[in-house]
């Protein structure tokens, strides 16, 4: 009986030692790393692009861009970097006009949100895309890392494309540091 207890204790501490020596993925997050491959967002715009790259790739004039949000960590903040910027432009997608917002987390494009003027007709057209199959929660996944969701709320009707890796980093930062 004593021998069994000793074996159980050794197994417990051995397991603890092995687990404590392994890297925990969440502890290795830099919150600024650019991962490969990027994933496609609306119209093939790629995640992880910088704001300057998005502006250049779309051929935008700075006067066409409205800054919705721009907040940065202070230099004396001991937490990892947490810079958020959201910009908006007039945009047409699938023949429908609206506003397109770009959401950057530490200067990496994390999400695009399209606010079509004719939401219902736009969503009807979007649902005809062969690579988009929405579940009962109005979400669809596109490989490798894109999630698309419909938001039919009366006040903020939008469709969002997001890189799930950056979403997880963002959520983890909020859980750990806010």
DSSP string, 112-174: EEEEETTHHHHHHHHTT-TT----TTSEEEETTTEEEEEEE-SSSEEEEEEEHHHHHHHHHHH
4 within some domain: no
Asked whether residue 11 is assigned to any structural domain, the reply reads: no
- Residue 7 placed within a domain: no
| Whether pLDDT at 27 is above 70 | no
pLDDT in tens, 43-73: 989 999 999 999 999 999 999 999 999 999 9
The predicted structure's pLDDT at residue 131 = 87
Contact between 151 and 167 under an 8 Å Cβ cutoff? The reply is no
Q: Give domain status of residue 167, yes or no.
A: yes
Per cent of the chain over pLDDT 70 is 84
- Total domains in the chain come to 1
Residue 154: what pLDDT?
Answer: 82
pLDDT band at 138 (very low <50, low <70, confident <90, very high): very high
- 24-51 average pLDDT score: 87
Q: How many CA atoms lie within 13 A of 31 on its CB side?
A: 17
Domain that holds residue 68: 37-177
Look at residue 70 and tell me if it is in a domain: yes
**What mean pLDDT value characterizes the chain?**
88
Of 25-34, 43-52, 154-163, minimum mean pLDDT range: 25-34
Looking at the domain assignment, is residue 32 inside a domain? no
pLDDT at site 11? 44
Structural domain includes residue 21: no
């Amino acid at each position: 009986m004593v021998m069994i207890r000793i074996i159980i204790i050794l197994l417990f501490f051995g397991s603890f030692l092995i687990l404590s020596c392994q890297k925990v993925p969440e502890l290795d997050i830099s919150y600024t790393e650019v991962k490969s491959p990027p994933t496609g967002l609306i119209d093939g715009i790629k995640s992880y692009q910088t704001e300057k790259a998005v502006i250049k790739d779309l051929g935008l004039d700075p006067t066409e861009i409205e800054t919705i949000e721009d907040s940065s960590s202070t230099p004396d903040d001991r937490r990892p970097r947490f810079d958020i910027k959201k910009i908006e432009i007039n945009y047409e997608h699938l023949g429908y006009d609206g506003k397109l917002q770009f959401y950057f987390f530490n200067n990496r494009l994390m999400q695009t949100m399209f606010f079509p003027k004719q939401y219902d007709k736009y969503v009807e057209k979007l649902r005809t895309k062969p690579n988009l199959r929405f579940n009962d929660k109005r979400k669809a996944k596109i490989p490798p890392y894109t999630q698309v969701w419909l938001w039919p709320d009366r006040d903020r009707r939008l469709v969002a494309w997001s890189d799930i890796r950056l979403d997880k980093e963002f959520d983890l930062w909020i859980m750990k540091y806010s």
